[in-house]
Structure 1
Amino acid sequence: MTARARGMLSGLVGVIMVAALAGCGGDAGAEDGPTKMTVGLIPVADYAPVTYALEKGYFKAEGLDIEIQSLQGGAAAVPGLLSGDLQVSVTNWVSFVQAVTKNTPIRAFAPGAVATPGYSGIYVAKGSDITDPAGLQGKVVAVTELKTITELTTREALKEAGVDPGGVQFTTVPLNSIVPAVNEGQVAGGWLVEPFISQGKAAGQRQLLDVYAGRFRDVSIGGYITSAKFAAENQDALKGFAAALGKAVNEMNDNKSLVEDTLIGMKAMKPEQKGSLLMPTFGNGLSPKDVKVWADVMIDHEFIDAEVNLGEAIIDVG
């Protein structure tokens, strides 16, 4: 073989080796720097650990470049995941179960906040003549989205209070507009969660129904989901996300002031409200049993027709 031929062969082998190495890469971004992920986030206390972990650099330490996209409610998560605009999103388990019943290719991999008494409820205006849940019969109640967690929890709380939820009319109002809607008499009552509960109380509003005192008590409210495609192709990225999130969760569960400071930074609460809000407890490890509780109540209130097989829809990322 001539020297020229040997040189050509050596160059060809080099090209093949480079191509082979490129083809053996792992998760997206593993060879070219941090994995970029856009995360859909609802600006409530339930999901403060994401913002906290981002500020503390926990995602960066796991090789992730996280960008936050604000969402109005959990139902908006699925279209974003399927289109690829979002790689991870928060959602409530009602919206998640509804999507699974339609065979939507999504996967849940981490929990959010845990339902505790007083954490969410129906509030009425200062001076309202409605003094008990029965007073909502024939009235309009504001929820963030129809046929999702805010309506379901209200219906179940009404049922537990001996009130027929069929006699209450539900209407949608953005979460950050429910307090003024109640104050101005546009609705008889509204579904609130922190930090909006504190805003309502500051305006003289009072709780009429505690939606997490009964069947949902100590159950995961929602969590973090991704598309089946992203889960299959980016297992290391999801494992890193869960690890960073778990670190933030542990710190925030041990020190609730971290939740308040994060919400203040998010402009979701005012500095003067610190110490007055009921802060959530965050789950650390997703249990299919928690999601099944929601599915069972959804059947009771005809949000879905039959039991749903959660099977592959809930994954363990380690």
Structure 2
Amino acid sequence: MRSLRFRSIVAASVALLAASTLSACGGDDDSSGNSKGLENGGKMTVAILGVVDGAGAQIAQQKGLFKAEGLDVNLKIVAKSTDALPALMKGDVGVIGGANLSTFIAANDAGQMHLKVIGEAATLTPNMMSVLVKPDSPIKEPKDLEGKKVAVVIPNNIQVLTMNAILRAKNVDPTKVKYTPVPFAQMGPALEKGDVDAVHVLEPFLSDIQKKQGARSVLDGGSDPVKGVPVSGYVSTKEWTDKHPKEAAAFQRALFKAQALAASDRKQVESVLPTYAKIAPDVAKVITLPGYPTSLNATRISRVVDLMKAQPGLLKNNPDVNSILFTPQASQ
């Protein structure tokens, strides 16, 4: 069943893409030699979500960090990471940024792709992702979510896995929550019209919905026991990284530098959000930001796998986390 679902996602996404046309180590910082050996002038397309998770790539582009590594990167915004799957599998897209890690780990486990994680995009921080309800909603606490429709982007994605872990910690039965797929950009209207009872949404959409609707938070999606879990990453395929090892390594170096800027200086993130996330500068200044990892860490990724293991039927094997992490060779 999981295999069929994955293939259906890919098939459905092909039409959309056709209509719209797309670590642990850092390496040497000698940009004078980084561009040597890069194919096609270092050109590569990166599909990326218009959410806070993608700030690292946007900063790398704005600050010329990709260019300094010899890369000519085309960033293409997509509504959700699975929209870019067909192009990733074909090699037309080299990397998907802000990709839901659990979705791609599950696809790798099912044998539908050979996953390589180039970097972590964002880790959970308190209140960067929350379950919102209308101001007059009868839902007052997490227990009230049982039997209710809650919007998430993709069923069984990291939103669901982390929320389930929080619910279990609060003695709430997550199997009684009716998760409903809704794109982030449509969660506000869906909540306002009553199509769903609640939305599990992240920034910047979270602050936007709260501001426009006066929505209340009934559950902090970044609280214990999932605080610090990587929710998204920059993913590719083994086929692409094997064929373009220098490009992958150069991308990783630039990304880690950009992530360091994002992690150390909030204004770096604020400056790029309005350019790609459709968010006003005044809102960008007040939203809650995620953590921006500056390395690729197997222990952190293992926390995602552990959450997946807690979801019956999501994994059939015990994934070797190190095997899915992209580690460049010293010569690159």
* Coarse TM-score class (shorter-chain normalised): 0.7 to 0.9
1:213 & 1:85 partners in 2: Cα distance?
37
Are residues 1:113 and 2:95 paired? no
Are residues 1:201 and 2:210 paired? yes
Give the 3 Å change call, closer, same or farther, for CA 244–273 of structure 1 in structure 2.
same
State the match for 1:56 in structure 2. 63
Are residues 1:316 and 2:323 paired? no
CA contact (8 A) 1:126 1:183 kept: no
What letter matches 1:125 in structure 2? K
Ranges in structure 1 where 5+ consecutive residues have no aligned partner: 1-24
What letter matches 1:252 in structure 2? A
Moved more, 235-244 or 307-316: 307-316
State the match for 1:254 in structure 2. 264
- Indicate the SS of the match to 1:237: helix
State the match for 1:145 in structure 2. 154
CA contact (8 A) 2:139 2:145 kept: yes
Listed one character per residue, the Cα deviations across residues 238-276 of structure 1 (whole Å, up to 9, x for unaligned) are 121112112211222221022112111224311221431
What letter matches 1:228 in structure 2? K
What letter matches 2:48 in structure 1? L
What letter matches 2:106 in structure 1? Q
What letter matches 1:69 in structure 2? K
Give the 3 Å change call, closer, same or farther, for CA 88–254 of structure 1 in structure 2.
same
Deviation at 1:50, TM superposition (A): 0.7
User: Cα RMSD over matched residues?
Assistant: 1.7
Are residues 1:100 and 2:108 paired? yes
1:287 & 1:153 partners in 2: Cα distance?
19
Rg larger for: 1
State the match for 1:160 in structure 2. 169
Deviation at 1:192, TM superposition (A): 0.8
1:66 & 1:170 partners in 2: Cα distance?
36
Give the 3 Å change call, closer, same or farther, for CA 267–100 of structure 1 in structure 2.
closer
What letter matches 2:142 in structure 1? P
2:277 & 2:241 partners in 1: Cα distance?
32
Are residues 1:28 and 2:35 paired? no
1:300 & 1:281 partners in 2: Cα distance?
24
State the match for 2:95 in structure 1. 88
State the match for 1:228 in structure 2. 238
- Indicate the SS of the match to 1:247: helix
Deviation at 1:157, TM superposition (A): 2.1
Are residues 1:40 and 2:47 paired? yes
Listed one character per residue, the Cα deviations across residues 69-128 of structure 1 (whole Å, up to 9, x for unaligned) are 222223344432111121111212201210220232221121111211111121111111
1:140 & 1:245 partners in 2: Cα distance?
37
State the match for 1:9 in structure 2. none
Deviation at 1:306, TM superposition (A): 4.0
1:289 & 1:80 partners in 2: Cα distance?
29
- Indicate the SS of the match to 1:278: coil
CA contact (8 A) 2:49 2:80 kept: yes
Deviation at 1:174, TM superposition (A): 1.0
CA contact (8 A) 2:132 2:199 kept: yes
**TM-score of the two chains, using structure 2 as the length reference:** 0.83
Residue identity (%): 27
Q: Report runs of 4+ in structure 1 exceeding 4 Å deviation.
A: none
**TM-score of the two chains, using structure 1 as the length reference:** 0.86
1:185 & 1:153 partners in 2: Cα distance?
24
Are residues 1:176 and 2:185 paired? yes
Give the 3 Å change call, closer, same or farther, for CA 306–227 of structure 1 in structure 2.
closer
Ranges in structure 2 where 5+ consecutive residues have no aligned partner: 1-35
Matched residue count: 290
State the match for 2:135 in structure 1. 126
Deviation at 1:219, TM superposition (A): 2.4
